[in-house]
Amino acid sequence: MSTLPRGSAPLVVKIGGAAGVDLDNVCADVAELRRRGEQVVVVNGGSEAGDSLLASLGMERPEALTASGNVVRLTNEAALRVLTMAWVGDVNKRAVLALLARGVEALGLCGADGRVLVARRRPPLKLQEGARTRIDRSHLAGEITEVNTRLLRVLLEAGQTPVLCPPAVTEEGVLVNVDADQVAASIASALGARALVMLSNVAGLLEDPADPTTLIRASDDVERVMGFAKGRMRYKLEAARRALAGGVPSAYVTASRIERPVLSALANEAGTQLTSPRKVAHAGA
């Protein structure tokens, strides 16, 4: 995968899809960054919109227990069609429109467009149903294996702000569900981003999720603080770990509803900053 030239590293901003995320607030910061000459790639989730649309159609994504003891939400072909409508047709376009309204040239893409996000489909699931083990071959989920950085670079150099979202596409041309936080981390790593900022409906990583005063402001040890992450926050820390391992200097997790959420995070005024472990120089080295 190619990377952008040194000195022109973009910023990757992930807008969460849970309830309570302020899309307009985040887009206002993206517009300010663009006015400053920054290149920005936006990634949107859409969990709330997807679940709402499924419910309105009388559908659901059932939870199942794998043979290894993990709980997963199943995504079959019918469910993925509906989720794609929500992620691509609703949330993605709302983000594009919010940016356009602020003078930002924005272009919405899902993973299949230009094969911008290629994934490997996960193998069939072994599900535990009581004492019986069942093989589920209909689950459409995948892991990002390639980011089309050539396409993203063309768009960025043309002054566009790409707005990307799941699903991704396999080499065989099959749409698969991929985690949007992992999408953002993969893009940040592939583009050599200067930072990854993940916006959600919480202030950042809390030692006690019930106490906002226990915010962890910064850590260079993702493995250690992973123990404090609950629920969806674990996905964000996994994404941060992936981005840092891919060479991204900093990853941030912060709330979308605060004033100047992206800019405040980058200035270390809000949220949690995650970095790679500091390298200690040896005497005589």
User: 152: phi > 0 → left, psi -120 to 50 → alpha, else beta; which?
Assistant: alpha
Is residue 131 assigned to a domain?
A: no
Q: Read off the pLDDT of each residue in 120-130 and give the average, rounded to a whole number.
A: 91
Tens of pLDDT, residue by residue over 197-241, are 999 999 999 999 889 899 999 999 999 998 898 888 999 999 999
| CATH code of 180's domain | 3.40.1160.10
- Residue 170's identity, in one-letter code, is T
Please report whether residue 134 resides in a domain: no
Give pTM, 2 decimals. 0.91
pLDDT tens readout for residues 87-105: 999 999 999 999 999 999 9
Q: Chain-wide mean pLDDT for the chain?
A: 92
Secondary structure (3-state) at 56 = helix
Contacts of 83 (CB under 8 A, 6+ apart): 46, 50, 53, 54, 75, 166, 167, 177
Q: State how far the Cα of 178 lies from the Cα of 250, in Å rounded to an integer.
A: 23
pLDDT of amino acid 212: 87
Structural domain containing residue 166: 11-61+80-119+143-275
**Main-chain dihedrals φ then ψ at residue 284, nearest 5 degrees:** 85, 0
Which are the contacts of 128, defined by CB distance < 8 A and separation ≥ 6?
A: 65, 66, 67, 134
Q: Residues 125, 136: contact at Cβ < 8 Å?
A: yes
Domain count across the chain: 1
Query: Looking at the domain assignment, is residue 67 inside a domain?
Result: no
Q: Residue 135 domain-assigned?
A: no
pLDDT value at residue 4: 38
User: Does any domain span residue 129?
Assistant: no
Q: Looking at the domain assignment, is residue 136 inside a domain?
A: no
Does residue 155 belong to any structural domain of this protein? yes
- Residue 267 counted as domain residue: yes
